[in-house]
A and B are shown apart, each in its own frame.
Chain A
């Protein structure tokens, strides 16, 4: 088993005809993902990369039975794209777009409240359940199927951690990039709950970073609800306060936003902290040997 995406996922790509949309759609298809539809307003009725393109998500869903959406829509229009997908009843939206204004995301969150759509991202690498479905921009080849769930705010740091796991023979159930923005659609808490409920996930690797309090909220969940071991690392111990470290959400504005505070909270909650980002794989290996 896995979470969010699997071999039953029928993927729709929003912004399929753009350059990034095209490039990554091809790679998703090559990985074995069932890409069943594309949406680009104004290009409905055409075909792109062998995939039927529609003007609206509603139309695409009713014609193709798409049940997940991967978004490559430019930042100025991305919030609208998420709303359209949710209104059409899309169960899962994975938004890759970086640079969406925060107040647009405030509106999105308000709209999604009480609706059934789960949003992953924005500003994220997406979701992959190795061997089953890749709904994202991550390098498929470094992943291998297995029993460790990975959840992270970062893209390339996750690739590094995943390749550490893979080279130690540790496969992944699902890897979820929740993204580097301040208001992600799904948080660590949301994804940890899914991993806790997933039969085939035996342990979870959590990669946090400075800014916000998502890691502290995760810590609370870990101490109260999680029975599966969690290995964690928080990037940015050397980041100066008040500076935005690349990601919109990675800015220390209060003491809770600092990496040591976050690692302390996670450790006190029972998570096992990797001493360095290069040792997440080894730490996970030791934890699995104990389980």
Chain B
């Protein structure tokens, strides 16, 4: 799960990580008031779940309250397009107004979980402000890593090594160590999957400040962080994905094609999407219905397809294991009963309770295209989609 920059900074501040003075504003007037309170030069930053905001014109420095009001007016209520969003951009409903910092150096600091060592790793670099993958690629020697033993946490010596490695001087080293220890504490306390300060700046007067911050949280751990869950801004997420989630379909990802897919199992669902592309089509979604045996989720998947104007044909591919084919079949039959299905449906069934499932479909009189295996299913659904004019 992601949160906004202003929320991330509030959390950082609570853990003693220095952030610029500022506040969030939902309207130009609020932006003006915040700027007046701060005084002097301020930065207005669009709050969206996307990076590359600077390049998209979403971060602008202005002089005084009137400037802040004007820029906030230009940003709030529009959609911001950045190199990391699609052409349709993401909606801006809030801006963060904060004091402009006098930056002398831009550094990078981040924590994530390293899959090879099975431990959190703190990464630091003198090359802040750019995408971290770029740094790792273009100047891997500049990326410093310190692996953290989860039993004892980040130790001061590790913070010192990273601080000296980033060329902090004298008093900044102590400040840096404190900041890193606090960031690690925040990471662990809140089950983060990523905590990134980029850039971490050294100001003209030698202070360390988190100028931008990104905190992501482990979805599997949200059950023990209700406060974090409440921070999610659903307006920033893909509407179809939010809809799917509300209907109990947690594993749904919107894709850019026109073939709806309903599959059980994440690996199989990915493989089905790959096969559709191999056969010359494009999937409109990734949808793993999981293994909960109820017809409602099948019914809701069909509701998703009907609501999605792009869909020209649907492929259902079920390999029953924990999920039972008869339950899925009953769900499909119910879907046909309850709604008008305006597209051809290709169905491939295999596994647990296959015969019962096939019988249910036969008895219900549902009209569909039967597929022998998932290759056959992919071929047939691509053909079916091509025959539909939309």
Contacts and interface: CB of A to CB of B under 8 A. Distances in A.
Contacts of B251: 245-246
A207 B266 CA distance: 13
A139 B120 CA distance: 36
A31 interface: no
Interface in A226-252: 233, 235-240, 243-248, 250
A16 B176 CA distance: 50
A266 interface: no
Interface in B90-127: 113, 115-116, 118-120
B262 to A, nearest CB: 13
B338 interface: no
A210 interface: yes
Nearest to A183: B118
A248 B255 CA distance: 18
Interface residue tally on A, bucketed by range: 35 or more
B69 interface: no
A245 B266 contact: yes
Interface string A93-125: 000000111111111011000000000000001
Given A238-B255, A278-B375, A137 B118 contact: no
Interface in A249-263: 250, 254-255, 259
A163 B350 contact: yes
A155 B270 contact: no
A212 interface: yes
A238 B219 contact: no
Interface residue tally on B, bucketed by range: 35 or more
A105 to B, nearest CB: 7
B239 to A, nearest CB: 15
Contacts of A217: 116
A88 B47 CA distance: 50
With a 10 A CB-CB cut-off, give which of B267, B275, B351, B375 has the most chain A CB atoms: B267
B253 A240 contact: yes
A221 interface: no
Interface in B138-197: 149-151, 188, 191, 193
With a 10 A CB-CB cut-off, give which of A101, A142, A239, A279 has the most chain B CB atoms: A101
B221 A101 contact: yes
B368 interface: no
A157 interface: yes
A209 B270 CA distance: 8
24 contacts: A99-B220, A100-B220, A101-B221, A101-B224, A102-B191, A102-B220, A102-B221, A103-B188, A103-B218, A110-B150, A137-B321, A139-B352, A156-B321, A160-B268, A207-B267, A235-B268, A235-B270, A236-B270, A243-B286, A248-B220, A250-B266, A259-B274, A277-B274, A278-B378
Interface of A: 75-76, 99-107, 109-110, 125, 137-139, 142, 152-160, 163, 180, 182-183, 207, 209-210, 212-214, 217, 233, 235-240, 243-248, 250, 254-255, 259, 276-279
For the complex of A and B, 3 pairs with smallest distance between CB atoms: A154-B267, A246-B266, A156-B265
